[in-house]
Chains A and B, each alone.
Chain A
Amino acid sequence: MKSRITELLGIEYPVFQGGMAWVAEHHLAAAVSEAGGLGIIGAASAPAQVVREEIRKARELTDKPVGVNIMLMNPNAPEVARMVIEEGVKVVTTGAGNPVKFMKEFKEAGVKVIPVVASVAMARMMERGGADAVIAEGMESGGHIGSITTMALLPQVVDAVKIPVIAAGGIGDGRGLAAAFMLGAEAVQMGTRFVVAQESIVHTNYKEKVLKAKDIDSEITGTSTGHPIRQIRNQMSREYLRLEKEGAGLEELEKLTLGSLRRAVMDGDVVSGTLMAGQIAGLVKKKQSCREMIEEIMDEAQGVLKKECERWAR
């Protein structure tokens, strides 16, 4: 059960937990790492000091590697990057931007850098800039998304770069993991499934929405702003889409989204909050511990790979 990714990071299983804003805090990240995957703390727009505390708290819960996701669009990204190096974090994933300007410092500090990419050209550029691996994320994902599906993006990225590729978007069980391996991925990243983990601090109301979601309950808002977001539909998303259709400006739209993820995650406001989740939410039916999830996924992947190999590759 080894790949270049498990070797590179010193983790047991090729499973990352996505660096979701508000959701990916120290309890969840530590639980995933402790179970043998790679837990990731989502820095999102939090001040560097808050993220520093999160890293330290995670370390009280596990000795295994824990990563940090840095949102590069945020003005505080340089500060977070410096802090991550000071804290001796060994793996960083990056979203929403170009990490190359931090690459030299990360490399010198021995930090592995794994950018999230949404296109082949971006993957190639990250490889050339010194990235250790890339996460090819399809538009099935929750939260901020690109426009290509995992099924189409993943093999094209795998062909385009020599560094290892991690698949993300639409993966929620062992079958998804097995499929990603077949397309050339060396690990997967999951978000939505971990939202409902027992260790996740996400409000029960939000978890229930994910557990009850059907395949078609997913909606994309914000296309008109250039920053599309996938979420589970609710009053908030309907209102947002209505305003978008009417051609509302950014200012009016931002009134709806200001603090809306925090309201959903922390306060359980599932009416006016943003319920970010991927299309795979319809498949997520069980609250389990992170360990149960990862072990179940690995067992399932091995089972399905074996069975299908016997059927198709005799």
Chain B
Amino acid sequence: MRYLPTEALLDGLPHVLWKEVDEGWIRFDPAAAQTLLLTPIARFVLERVAIAGASAGVGDLVAAVLREEPEAGHDACRSLVEAALQALVEAHLIRPSAP
């Protein structure tokens, strides 16, 4: 499964505001009137998908996280990435696409 940015994500990008909080980040998109609490890894995943402008797979994202945090365990990292992807899909910021 690969993931793409949604139009809502790309449309809102220039206006989005961020605030760091205890649990991670608050993302506010004034155009969509959407406020989300994202874990740090969810923000990382979101930025990877949005910046790439192309689809990203779970494996790519896990590898990217492990490059940043080499001491992290692969399985734990994968489950965190999968949870982040699910949250971002539910928030309509990214969408799955066919491989």
A binds B: no
List B residues at the A interface (Cβ < 8 Å): none
